[in-house]
A and B are shown apart, each in its own frame.
Chain A
Amino acid sequence: MTSLLEGRQAIPASRRNRTNRRFLWVALCVTSLSVLALSVLLVTVLFQGAKHLFGAEVAVVPDTTHLVSAELDERGQSVQLVTREPRTQHLELLERAPEGATVRVDGADVLVVAPDGAELRAGTRTDVTSAALTPNRHAVRIEYSELVTHEVGLPSERSLDGASIETDAQTGRVAVRYTNGSTQIVGQRGGTLARTHVVGSPNLKAAKDFLTTPPSMTPTNAGFNAPLLGSIWILVVCALSALPLGIGAAIMLEEFRPRRRGPTHWVHRIVQTNVRNLAGVPSIVYGLIGLTVFCRMFGLFGSALQYAPYQRFELTDGRTILGQLVATEEEVYHLDSELLGHVKLERSSLGEVTQWPIKDEPIECHGTVELNDEYLFVVRAPELGEITIDSWAIEHAELADGGPFSPREVDLTFSMGGQGRYVIETPDAGRMYVARDLVRDTVRDIDTVPIREHIYRMGDGRVLRGELMKLNDGELSIRRAIGEDVTTFNIKDVALRPDGKPDYRNRTMLMLGDEDSSFHVHFPMGASVLAGGLTLMLVILPIIIIATQEALRAVPDSLRSGALALGATPWQMVWGMTLPNAVPGIMTGAILAMSRAIGEAAPILVVGGTIFITFLPDNLMSGFAAMPLQIYMWTNQPDPEFKKVAASGILVLLTVLLLFNASAVFIRQKLQRPLT
């Protein structure tokens, strides 16, 4: 029998191997590129972040190979390094130099001398060390040196008193020696990346400060405690809700799947397919679901306190109270007033109630807009008080006439724009968008009038604007009242008596637990830690379900048969056999899911994560900030210093992430064992 392959030429092994090698080469290139990109990213973040986090700055220090002098400039808080850098240059000639021509340097002039003695100026250059015609005689190649001054900034917090410059001839290293003996490299031969702000070991106090102080609008003061703690709170809520729910769902889908065809079988298929699809849904969609389901709860329980409108309660005796209606009884209204705390109002004494417009409706007013000497943008109107905004906080301003900005008197509309912005609209001066959070902070920082919730109408009809300073012993202090120089007055003049703690019994909002406890809950949840955590739960639930299903599927069926054959109920089989053996897989999946949750910004933003808060969450109903939001907000700041702050934040986030992943690896190593 002859082979069918008789006489056929085999494809040379070398050719087949070539394809193999080609693939490996491409793979190698792609991998190197990715590694390169990743290292650049990491190095950038590390160097940027280290400055803020450890008080150390990593930068390129100048090359000192040709150092001429190094001087300390105490006034400029810097070191001036002067180097003489060798340079070469080709001076092109208009026409080719005759054969036998030479080059002569006369002072700053470079001259070409022909054999017949004629001289032609090729160019001028000082400090020329050598000059010669190029072989083709079309140009003169000169070598010269140039003095270059490098200014290396020193950290402003270090005192330069008694500091000195040290140069090491051997390494070319130039360093500043401070009086406490620590040194800082400011120049090196060849130039290199070096920490220019190193004080012995990394400054752990700076890192501690960063982790324990609240965010601030001043980059040097900006801390990370509120976002860090906020993230931890929502992650704990997220883990505690997502794990039992996800693992339970996976057990239901995997171990209790309907075996026979029928309606349950179809439901199972639909759920199964959609769990997989849900894992790919953009997280912002979950944010919207979370907003509807958790924050607002379909409006079933009324509005959350945060959403209760501010209302103006005009009393029959002419007095006015600004506050939120929190509960109503037969004949009594309960109000929460920023100024007075809890207030009981008799229905008969209540006149007109109007909604305070600053919350939802635009305020039409007439006022002035000006840009002052400090580049602070000032809006003044009787209805608003005085709003001062750093000009850099203004995201966008259109001037109707396009001319330079000058103080002007305008009609303006003040309203809440979308996307967390105020819109100040002036018919003749154009429209201005201002980030709401920035305004609040800016206002606070520069010690002017906060624009919300601090406008008080007095019983006698007077309007006071200012920051509430003190409320005790029947005396009330308001700082910076405008149009009214009274700063302290008797509370009896202002409004009704404060009356202890709020009574929530008849509140539209549903309240579970004592309000003072850390774990009380109110429905709807509003922009609370609980709502944020539950929304993140939605994001990671499909991931956890899928990971758990995979882990359960990896448990061999022989173990299930073995358990069932011994008379185990399906639940006993799951609890005693499949689940324990799936734990490593489940934990790995769960922790990777948590790693995703920790980096999610979009859903948190939608459910009302705050970009700027200075208080720490201390119960399930607290407002919160989150690390990714804070980082996003910092990277958006125009001040370049914030880039470093953001990088520090990223470092903290990455560290937490690494810890998570490390624990996943640890658990897998610890618990994983062969199953057959």
Chain B
Amino acid sequence: MIQSDAAASRQHQPVPVELKSPVNHSSRVANPLAAVAQRAIDARLSSGETTTELKVRDFSAWYGDFQALHNLELDIPKNRVTALIGPSGCGKSTFLRWINRMNDLVASARCSGTLEAGGTNVLDRALDVVELRRRVGMVFQKPNPFPKSIYDNVAFGPRLHYRLKKRELDALVEKSLRDAALWDEVKDRLDKSALGLSGGQQQRLCIARTIALSPEVLLMDEPCSALDPKATRRVEDLIAELRNNFTIIIVTHNMQQAARVSDVTAFFFEGRLIEIDETLTIFTSPKNPQTEEYVTGRFG
């Protein structure tokens, strides 16, 4: 069975995911699948082109001798939310961490193939990762606000890359916090420690911190797994708002979440990309039986 999958994925060609320009879907629908359907209809109705933000060809990754990813071939569309789903250890986080080269920090990690973001090869040894990470931001599983004030947390990134006047920085911090839907909650205590915020607020602060640099791609590694349902909802709402301006790639274990927030879903299994398609298709009529088993909860 695994053999045949391997063969299948080797022959796998990138699925052209054609979506129209994003549409604001402000109202939440109780049934996530209904939301996806609504969004797909919106997309089809609206006009405009989608472009590919991330082009992945024959991408494999290893930890030492263990091959974590096998010959991935996929395109991730610009200004859309792409969800990576799959059981634990299927390689989706590994893939995410290669996109902004956070895996450089892991001694045993190496990879092959090409991974292009906005036309530049991310895996190029000569590429300056500092610059890459400004363009490809990342939000982690566990909220990791810096032990500094809320203001300094948001200003941390800009201060690394730019020389800004106080006034410019103030404006940037405010805008980022507003974009992260956190401004109203923290505007009176910007100089207080970020560690005093609740878990959900901390995670939104981390998102604000990342979008302060106006990255092109926003990577989110299970951003809601450490949060309670209420906070999860706030973050999901935020993702829905951010999809207009950022290409978002989100790793999640929660299939309902994938259905709720994403336009495109990619299913990973044992280091291979099994299927990538519009979220509605993945959840309603997947081509691969393994995907169907997984999304219907029969395994995984």
Residues of A within 8 A of B (CB): 259-261, 556, 558-559, 561-569, 572, 576-577, 581, 673-676
Which A residues are CB-close (under 8 A) to B140? Answer: 558, 561-562, 565
The reply on B295 being an interface residue by CB < 8 A is: no
A259 contacts B105, C-beta separation under 8 Å: yes
Q: How far is the CB of B25 from chain A (nearest CB, A)?
A: 29
B160 contacts A566, C-beta separation under 8 Å: yes
Q: How far is the CB of A435 from chain B (nearest CB, A)?
A: 57
How far is A309 from B284 in the complex, measured between Cα atoms in Å?
98
Which B residues are CB-close (under 8 A) to A260? Answer: 107
Which A residues are CB-close (under 8 A) to B138? Answer: 565
B161 contacts A563, C-beta separation under 8 Å: no
The reply on B134 being an interface residue by CB < 8 A is: yes
How far is A567 from B213 in the complex, measured between Cα atoms in Å?
9
A577 contacts B102, C-beta separation under 8 Å: no
Q: Which residue of B lies closest to A556 (CB)?
A: B144
Partner of A673, one of B107, B142, B147: B147
Given the known inter-chain contacts A259-B107, A561-B102, A676-B195, please indicate yes or no for A567 contacting B133, CB distance below 8 A.
yes
Which B residues are CB-close (under 8 A) to A562? Answer: 140, 144-146, 206, 209
Which B residues are CB-close (under 8 A) to A568? Answer: 130, 160
B195 contacts A567, C-beta separation under 8 Å: no
The reply on B137 being an interface residue by CB < 8 A is: yes
The reply on B210 being an interface residue by CB < 8 A is: yes
Which of A261, A568, A673 gathers the greatest number of chain B CB atoms within 10 Å?
A568
The reply on B286 being an interface residue by CB < 8 A is: no
The reply on B157 being an interface residue by CB < 8 A is: yes
Given the known inter-chain contacts A572-B160, A576-B156, A673-B193, please indicate yes or no for A567 contacting B144, CB distance below 8 A.
no
Given the known inter-chain contacts A558-B144, A576-B156, A577-B146, please indicate yes or no for A564 contacting B105, CB distance below 8 A.
yes
A563 contacts B100, C-beta separation under 8 Å: no
Given the known inter-chain contacts A566-B156, A566-B160, please indicate yes or no for A676 contacting B131, CB distance below 8 A.
no
Which B residues are CB-close (under 8 A) to A675? Answer: 147
What 20 additional pairs, Cβ within 8 angstroms, besides A561-B105, A566-B134, A673-B193? A259-B104, A259-B106, A260-B107, A261-B107, A559-B144, A559-B147, A562-B144, A562-B146, A563-B146, A564-B105, A565-B102, A565-B133, A566-B210, A568-B130, A569-B130, A576-B156, A576-B159, A581-B147, A673-B195, A676-B147
Q: How far is the CB of A470 from chain B (nearest CB, A)?
A: 67
A566 contacts B133, C-beta separation under 8 Å: yes
B146 contacts A559, C-beta separation under 8 Å: yes
Residues of B within 8 A of A (CB): 100, 102, 104-107, 130-134, 137-138, 140, 142, 144-147, 156-157, 159-161, 193, 195, 206, 209-210, 213
Which B residues are CB-close (under 8 A) to A556? Answer: 144
Which A residues are CB-close (under 8 A) to B206? Answer: 562
Which A residues are CB-close (under 8 A) to B102? Answer: 561, 564-565
Which of A559, A561, A562, A673 gathers the greatest number of chain B CB atoms within 10 Å?
A562
How far is A331 from B167 in the complex, measured between Cα atoms in Å?
71
- Interface class of chain B by DSSP: helix
Which A residues are CB-close (under 8 A) to B132? Answer: 567
Q: How far is the CB of A646 from chain B (nearest CB, A)?
A: 48
How far is A577 from B210 in the complex, measured between Cα atoms in Å?
16
How far is A572 from B146 in the complex, measured between Cα atoms in Å?
14
Which A residues are CB-close (under 8 A) to B157? Answer: 566-567
Which B residues are CB-close (under 8 A) to A563? Answer: 146, 156
Which B residues are CB-close (under 8 A) to A261? Answer: 107
Q: How far is the CB of B139 from chain A (nearest CB, A)?
A: 8
Given the known inter-chain contacts A259-B105, A558-B140, A674-B195, please indicate yes or no for A564 contacting B133, CB distance below 8 A.
yes
How far is A581 from B142 in the complex, measured between Cα atoms in Å?
19
The contact sample of 26 A-B pairs, CB cut-off 8 A, is: A559-B146, A561-B105, A561-B144, A562-B144, A562-B146, A562-B206, A564-B102, A564-B133, A565-B102, A566-B133, A566-B134, A566-B137, A566-B157, A566-B210, A566-B213, A567-B130, A567-B131, A567-B132, A567-B160, A567-B213, A568-B130, A576-B156, A576-B160, A673-B147, A675-B147, A676-B195
B161 contacts A567, C-beta separation under 8 Å: yes
Q: How far is the CB of B249 from chain A (nearest CB, A)?
A: 14
Which B residues are CB-close (under 8 A) to A581? Answer: 147
Which A residues are CB-close (under 8 A) to B142? Answer: 558
How far is A259 from B101 in the complex, measured between Cα atoms in Å?
14
Which A residues are CB-close (under 8 A) to B133? Answer: 564-567
How far is A653 from B144 in the complex, measured between Cα atoms in Å?
45
How far is A563 from B156 in the complex, measured between Cα atoms in Å?
8
How far is A296 from B44 in the complex, measured between Cα atoms in Å?
84
How far is A565 from B105 in the complex, measured between Cα atoms in Å?
11
Which of B146, B157, B159, B206 gathers the greatest number of chain A CB atoms within 10 Å?
B146
Q: Which residue of A lies closest to B202 (CB)?
A: A676
How far is A48 from B106 in the complex, measured between Cα atoms in Å?
61
How far is A576 from B153 in the complex, measured between Cα atoms in Å?
11
How far is A261 from B106 in the complex, measured between Cα atoms in Å?
12
Across the A-B interface, the 5 shortest Cβ-Cβ residue pairs? A558-B144, A567-B134, A567-B133, A566-B157, A565-B138
How far is A566 from B131 in the complex, measured between Cα atoms in Å?
9
How far is A568 from B210 in the complex, measured between Cα atoms in Å?
12
Which B residues are CB-close (under 8 A) to A559? Answer: 144, 146-147
How far is A565 from B107 in the complex, measured between Cα atoms in Å?
17
Which A residues are CB-close (under 8 A) to B193? Answer: 673
How far is A508 from B100 in the complex, measured between Cα atoms in Å?
59
How far is A612 from B157 in the complex, measured between Cα atoms in Å?
59
How far is A508 from B230 in the complex, measured between Cα atoms in Å?
79
Partner of A565, one of B106, B145, B147, B210: B210
Which B residues are CB-close (under 8 A) to A259? Answer: 104-107
Partner of A674, one of B107, B147, B213: B147
B146 contacts A565, C-beta separation under 8 Å: no
Q: How far is the CB of A581 from chain B (nearest CB, A)?
A: 6
How far is A576 from B106 in the complex, measured between Cα atoms in Å?
22
Q: Which residue of B lies closest to A573 (CB)?
A: B160
Which of A558, A577, A673 gathers the greatest number of chain B CB atoms within 10 Å?
A558
Q: How far is the CB of A359 from chain B (nearest CB, A)?
A: 59
Q: Which residue of B lies closest to A568 (CB)?
A: B160
Which A residues are CB-close (under 8 A) to B209? Answer: 562, 566
How far is A556 from B102 in the complex, measured between Cα atoms in Å?
16
Q: How far is the CB of B287 from chain A (nearest CB, A)?
A: 35
How far is A674 from B137 in the complex, measured between Cα atoms in Å?
26
How far is A381 from B290 in the complex, measured between Cα atoms in Å?
109
How far is A260 from B195 in the complex, measured between Cα atoms in Å?
34
Which B residues are CB-close (under 8 A) to A565? Answer: 100, 102, 133, 137-138, 140, 210
How far is A565 from B104 in the complex, measured between Cα atoms in Å?
11
Which A residues are CB-close (under 8 A) to B144? Answer: 556, 558-559, 561-562, 676
Q: How far is the CB of A456 from chain B (nearest CB, A)?
A: 70
How far is A561 from B93 in the complex, measured between Cα atoms in Å?
14
Q: How far is the CB of B221 from chain A (nearest CB, A)?
A: 10
Which B residues are CB-close (under 8 A) to A566? Answer: 133-134, 137, 156-157, 160, 209-210, 213
How far is A565 from B210 in the complex, measured between Cα atoms in Å?
8
How far is A581 from B144 in the complex, measured between Cα atoms in Å?
14
Q: How far is the CB of B135 from chain A (nearest CB, A)?
A: 8
Q: Which residue of A lies closest to B153 (CB)?
A: A562
Which B residues are CB-close (under 8 A) to A564? Answer: 102, 105, 133
How far is A675 from B148 in the complex, measured between Cα atoms in Å?
9
Which of B140, B156, B195 gathers the greatest number of chain A CB atoms within 10 Å?
B156
Q: How far is the CB of B202 from chain A (nearest CB, A)?
A: 10
Q: How far is the CB of B171 from chain A (nearest CB, A)?
A: 19
How far is A37 from B297 in the complex, measured between Cα atoms in Å?
70
Which B residues are CB-close (under 8 A) to A576? Answer: 156, 159-160
Q: How far is the CB of A573 from chain B (nearest CB, A)?
A: 9
How far is A563 from B213 in the complex, measured between Cα atoms in Å?
13
Which B residues are CB-close (under 8 A) to A561? Answer: 102, 105, 140, 144
How far is A559 from B143 in the complex, measured between Cα atoms in Å?
10
Which of A565, A568, A581 gathers the greatest number of chain B CB atoms within 10 Å?
A565
How far is A565 from B146 in the complex, measured between Cα atoms in Å?
13
Q: How far is the CB of A297 from chain B (nearest CB, A)?
A: 41
Q: How far is the CB of B281 from chain A (nearest CB, A)?
A: 32
Q: Which residue of B lies closest to A265 (CB)?
A: B107
